[in-house]
Amino acid sequence: MRGPLDDIRILAVSQFGAGPFGMMQLADLGADVIKIEDPVSRGDIGRWVQPGAQDGDSLYYQSFNRNTRSVTLNLREPEGRELFRALAAKSDAVFNNLRGDQPEALGLTYDALKECNPALVCVSLSGFGRTGARAAEPGYDYLIQACSGFMSMTGHPDGPPERAGVSIVDYAGGLAAALGLVTGIHQARRTGVGCDLDIALLDTAIALLNYLAAWTLNSDFRPVRMPSSSHPTLYPSQVFPTNDGHLVVMCAKEKFWVNLVTAMDLPHLAEDPRFRTFADRFQHRDEMERVLTERFRQESTDVWLERLRGSVPVARVNSVEEALSDEQVIDRGMIVDVPHPLFGMLRETASAVRFPDVAGSHRPGSALGADTDDVLRSILGLDKARIDSLRASGAI
């Protein structure tokens, strides 16, 4: 079967992480994502990120651009802009992840493009959005983790604020943009009218605060960095050291507390008035943690996993290498092979969204401008002489 989005064409003026991550999710589902790259600046900066960068390609670039095509267009040149408008007329959406003040300046908004395609959906993903005092500022995941409050809750209470080990705001922002884009196309196909969508990484991060925001806005609770990466109110839900590693226990229901202390040969703790309920354990969390930590240190991680799995939510704290070889990850097909002309057979993480009966088809992200001629011929009907002329003028 063909991909469920194979009737969608997207022009993506995007680079680095957040935007390409979101567009790759759609490309994996069959959308024709045509990545527009600047020939003057050597394309997406992700092509040059180490390790493994060579000849205008990199492992970093490939991890974000699977199944996408590359067309070089110089949007500073009049002919480049006209080519872009011609492609937009035959596309469903235009996506960009530029700084908030740039889409309007480069003519990537619905107002600028609706004459050539009234049903076009124009999606902007930026750090701070297209409006507000910080619209013209560059915004990156690290910065957004800081100003959204994420870092104030991450790390040890006695240490400095810390960022998450992965670019969680970038990825969430990319997914939000992808969801907005397909929703916009759905609406446009019903109404015949497109729109502008303004997605911000900061907005995404604030939305992700969710219940912590509700607690802060409506009570005197203030989220802070917690010892042992604990949940702010549910105890025990945290990291515990074993005699050869670490594991996470998540007692999100009262029954899990009873199951936990029984499996640990500490059944009397279930009736201890200090620990009987969530509220009791929260009040006496330091005492509870001392008892459990001492017991967890007496056995190996494997022993505890064998004892607890099936009765208490538990997980080993894996390294990245261990996570990628985890039995469940392999069983779920989350590692895919992508043949690449430069790097050989690349192993990459799959999309989390896969449709039954649709065989995964994985192509590497194209070399810079590799699809320019084919796109201009197949979509716009340009002949070789015209393409050569455009290349000579610097438009492509």
- Alpha-carbon distance of 3 to 353, in angstroms, equals 12
pLDDT in the model for residue 23: 98
Q: Which CATH number fits domain 246-316: 2.40.50.110, 3.20.20.70, 3.40.50.300, 3.30.1540.10?
A: 3.30.1540.10
Q: In this structure, what is the dihedral angle of CA atoms 211, 212, 215, 221, given to the nearest 10 degrees?
A: 150
pLDDT at 360 over 70: no
Could you give the residue numbers annotated as active site? 170
β-bridge pairing 9-13 and 32-37:
parallel
Percent of the chain with pLDDT over 70: 99
Can 9-207+332-393 and 246-316 be said to share one CATH topology?
no
Give the residue extent of every domain in the chain. Answer: 9-207+332-393, 246-316
- H-type helices in the chain, by residue range? 18-28, 59-65, 78-89, 102-105, 110-113, 141-147, 168-191, 201-218, 254-263, 278-283, 285-296, 301-308, 320-324, 327-331, 372-378, 384-393
Confidence of residue 1 (pLDDT cuts 50, 70, 90): low
Mean local confidence (pLDDT), 39-49: 93
pLDDT at 48 over 80: yes
In eight-state DSSP terms, residue 39 is T
pLDDT tens-digit map of 178-190: 999 999 999 999 9
DSSP string spanning 301-326? HHHHHHHHTTTS-EEE---HHHHHT-
pLDDT at 357 over 80: no
pLDDT in the model for residue 248: 97
pLDDT in the model for residue 233: 87
- Alpha-carbon distance of 29 to 187, in angstroms, equals 19
pLDDT at 366 over 70: yes
pLDDT at 252 over 90: yes
pLDDT in the model for residue 206: 98
pLDDT at 20 over 80: yes
pLDDT in the model for residue 98: 95
- Alpha-carbon distance of 44 to 32, in angstroms, equals 18
Could you count the other beta carbons within 10 Å of the beta carbon of residue 64?
Answer: 26
Tokens representing residue 57 in the block: 């390609």
Q: Which amino acid is at 49?
A: V
Confidence of residue 358 (pLDDT cuts 50, 70, 90): confident
CATH superfamily for 9-207+332-393 is Crotonobetainyl-coa:carnitine coa-transferase; domain 1 (3.40.50.10540)
Angle (nearest 5°) at CA 149 between 146 and 153: 105
pTM of the entire predicted model = 0.93
pLDDT at 210 over 70: yes
pLDDT in the model for residue 355: 85
Q: What is the mean pLDDT of the chain?
A: 95
Report whether 261 contacts 267 (CB < 8 A): yes
pLDDT tens-digit map of 275-308: 999 999 999 999 999 999 999 999 999 999 999 9
pLDDT tens-digit map of 189-204: 999 999 999 999 999 9
- Alpha-carbon distance of 30 to 2, in angstroms, equals 7
